[in-house]
Amino acid sequence: MNGKLYAIGAQFASASELYHAAEKVRDAGFRRWDVHSPFPIHGMDDAMGLGPSRVSFFSLLGGATGLASAFNIIYYTSQINFKLVVQGKPYFALEPSFPIFFELTILCTAFFTLFSMLILNLLPRLNHPVFNWDLFSKVTDDAFFIVIEAEDPLFDKAKTGEFLQKLGGQNISQIQHDS
């Protein structure tokens, strides 16, 4: 294979083995690694040491931005710029503004959620180096994999492969970037 080394991957026989191997990889201190399986494995986020998603923070930020924008637009146009008395109501009234508050809050929340999810997941990514691995096509059927990236501070080509083998990994392979 030609190209730069992306990672070392190992195949595991079952979801249970993958789960316990993920705990050991986490405990060993690796930071840049991932697991791949044909179905979600309950508790895998904890086994990998993943914290809560940061997308919810951006969703909250989007909602607050939408609400503040709606309030400022309505207040400016009705209280400052166009002082019109309509149907005997005050220049600025909260009650008729609630639908606009709601709609702009939901709209901004949706946009912030979508774009933060794309950015945090490094999407769109048209091709991932792990797709170059011949064994990876089995992940959608019946295979379980751990992939430790070469960018990890603890990565050593020989020691990482031995470590994965000690965990019960089979078919340990080097995964290359496209050349």
Q: Is the domain of 138 the same as that of 169?
A: yes
Q: Is the domain of 47 the same as that of 60?
A: no
**In the prediction, which pLDDT does 2 show?**
62
Domain endpoint, select from 120, 140, 159: 120
Domains in the chain, number? 2
Q: Is the domain of 116 the same as that of 61?
A: yes
Tell me the pLDDT of the chain (179 aa) as tens digits.
467 899 999 999 999 999 999 999 999 999 999 999 999 999 999 999 999 999 999 999 999 999 999 999 999 998 888 888 877 878 888 888 899 999 999 999 999 999 999 999 888 888 889 988 999 988 988 899 999 999 999 999 989 999 999 999 999 999 998 75
Q: Is the domain of 71 the same as that of 31?
A: no
Domain membership of residue 65 as a residue range? 55-120
Domain endpoint, select from 82, 103, 120: 120
pTM exceeds 0.85: no
Domain endpoint, select from 120, 137, 165: 120
SS3 readout for the chain: CCCCEEEEEEEECCHHHHHHHHHHHHHHCCCCEEEECCCCCCCHHHHHCCCCCCHHHHHHHHHHHHHHHHHHHHHHHHHHHCCCCCCCCCCCCCHHHHHHHHHHHHHHHHHHHHHHHHHHCCCCCCCCHHHHCHHHHHHHCCCEEEEEECCCCCCCHHHHHHHHHHCCCEEEEEEECCC
